[in-house]
Structure 1
Amino acid sequence: MRRVVVTGATGTIGRAVVAALHTRGDHVVALSRDAERARAVLGNVEVHAWRSPTRQSPPSAALDGAHAIIHLLGEPIGQRWTAAVKRELRDSRLRSTRLLTRAIHARATGSPPLTFVSQSATGFYGLHGDAWLTEQSPPGTDFLARLVVDWEHESLAAAAAPNVRVVVSRTGVVLSSHGGALEKMAPPFKFGVGGPIAGGRQYVPWVHIDDVVGALLHCLDTRAAAGPINVVSPNPATNAELSRALGHALHRPALLPVPGFVVRALYGEMSMTVIGGQRVSAAKLEGLGYVFVHPHLDTALRDVLSAAA
């Protein structure tokens, strides 16, 4: 039985990861700011309090004997980016990862080999047209891209420790029955007022929550997996295609376009993550042997929405 530590364990991805690890027989250790709430949410897992992940080292008792760490902690990106929010977005990712990496370096001699799978984002690439983006593509220059570049730098520093393998999972737009992108996207469509955003030609690097979990566990288990890996569907869709598929899945029209200026007025700088596009390749992940559970948008949306009903 492997001991797997999960940070951000009560989030949308974290809950699903913890459930999958527990189901397959791993010993799950959750780190949470609120240990009591985490126990109530996650059930029968070992929970340790990490009350201030931007200021305090993670509890050593949680990491002792760990075979793997899946690091998912971070303030949600999907909100208006005020100066204070930007600081929190950076601090929650960079400082927590730096402290966790230092703790990995300080592990006792003789500890088992460790796999460190650290969350990242396709925001690394910045804004693009329809060019395919691979893990070798250069980073963007906008706020989110710079944040992700720095975040990955903190994660990859763990590889300097003995017997540590590091994966940074550049995750796309997650489709989930609880939380994720659909929490904000679906309501207008349910009322019949949904449609493509800012012309709809921009690509969306979507991925089903089951494949996010499957990819993270595959990277944990596959020794050849290392460095940045895109966690996205092999079939990215344009915003217009996503709108049509969502409308069809909800049996609602998807005919009312949303002008870009409306999105910019609502979300400010953060709107560029919606208005801009990224056509991200999953070839590296597939080359490592991962087989997608939900590779096609229509069936992925139907599955997610049926689970939410």
Structure 2
Amino acid sequence: MEPSRIAVAGASGLIGGALARSLAADGHEVVRLVRRPPRTKDEVRWDPEAGRVDAAGLAGCEAVVNLAGAGVGDSRWTDTYKARIRSSRVLGTRALAEAVAGLETKPRVFVNGSAMGYYGETGERAVDESAPPGEGFLPELCVEWEGAAAPAQEAGVRTVFTRTGLVVSRAGGAWGRLFPLFRAGLGGRLGDGRQYWSFISLHDEVAAIRHLMDTDGLSGPFNLTAPQPLTNREITAAMGRVLHRPTLFPVPAPVLRSVLGEMAGDVLGSARVVPKRLLESGFTFAFPDIDGALKAAL
């Protein structure tokens, strides 16, 4: 894509921040959506929960990327926090999609975040984008989250959903918590370790989003996960190898449930998710295996 104006919601988050830096480094003008009064000309005001967007600030954008939302793993899943997770994603997506649909000159593409949580528990069964949604809080959230982008789709804007896996990074997400534990020699498998974890390096996550933005004709859901999901036991062994630390401290499932509450089901659950459509679109992973992804993060 030639240098252009691109709006990013969620630019203060792990993925959004990395994407904004990557785009700016290549000469794009990055417009950040913020919840406070704008301080610079590259900021646009929005209030996702209230459904308000300063649509005039999106004028001239070639692409709008929505990666905003309360962190799924940032707090115990109380009813209050689950409501916040839902409203921050569903209401924010709807507000942006409606703003995009109402622009006189519409962007070429609307990229909306989603998650591999769409598929729920898959056990040892590998799933691609053709699989139906699973059952439970996260699958129901993802269905509603993606559905909220309908105004942009109905207005003829090419719309992409990024069903992201566990992002390997020191800066946040699940791995942001795992790295310090493993460095201290306190890491180990979670539960029985047989559950599949579908991971992706932060580098490949950003590269995949940009590939989906830049490639005309790509729309709908794409799994952003490395080609070979691994079990938690295999990932634990890789962490020990790369960090040169023992991995002797497994965390029993009952302990995880007492500490994490309902969210423990997501940690102990198995999600064997493969990026079929992403690979078919011609995307090449820089770090397809876990050792490379871990070393890239370090």
Q: TM-score, normalised by structure 1?
A: 0.92
Report the Cα offset of residue 290 of structure 1.
0.6
Q: 1:167 and 2:160 equivalent?
A: yes
Q: 1:243 and 2:254 equivalent?
A: no
C-alpha spacing 1:115/1:184, structure 2 compared with 1 (3 Å): same
Q: 1:115 and 2:109 equivalent?
A: yes
Q: 1:67 and 2:78 equivalent?
A: no
Stretches (4+) displaced over 6 A: none
Report the Cα offset of residue 112 of structure 1.
4.7
Q: Equivalences for 1:244-263 in 2 at 5 Å?
A: 244-263=237-256
1:150 maps to which residue? 144
2:202 maps to which residue? 209
CA–CA separation in structure 1 for the residues paired with 2:199 and 2:221: 17
CA–CA separation in structure 1 for the residues paired with 2:38 and 2:119: 38
Aligned length: 295
CA–CA separation in structure 2 for the residues paired with 1:302 and 1:56: 41
CA deviations 1:147-178 (Å, max 9, x no partner) are 1110011124421003x100000000011131
Q: 1:295 and 2:249 equivalent?
A: no
CA deviations 1:24-60 (Å, max 9, x no partner) are 22211110124668x6xxxxx811222x221042112
* Contact 1:4–1:28 (CA under 8 A) maintained in structure 2: yes
Report the Cα offset of residue 228 of structure 1.
0.4
RMSD: 1.5
C-alpha spacing 1:144/1:216, structure 2 compared with 1 (3 Å): same
3-state SS of paired residue (1:70): strand
Structure 1: which amino acid aligns with 2:274? S
2:184 is aligned, of 188, 191, 198, to: 191
CA deviations 1:77-125 (Å, max 9, x no partner) are 00210011011000000111111111122112xx155200000000000
CA deviations 1:264-297 (Å, max 9, x no partner) are 1111101111100111111210110111111110
CA–CA separation in structure 1 for the residues paired with 2:287 and 2:233: 20
Report the Cα offset of residue 195 of structure 1.
0.8
* Contact 2:167–2:173 (CA under 8 A) maintained in structure 1: yes
Structure 2: which amino acid aligns with 1:19? R
Structure 2: which amino acid aligns with 1:247? G
Q: TM-score, normalised by structure 2?
A: 0.95
* Contact 2:100–2:107 (CA under 8 A) maintained in structure 1: no
1:273 maps to which residue? 266
3-state SS of paired residue (1:9): coil
1:77 maps to which residue? 72
CA deviations 1:212-244 (Å, max 9, x no partner) are 100000000011211000000012111001111
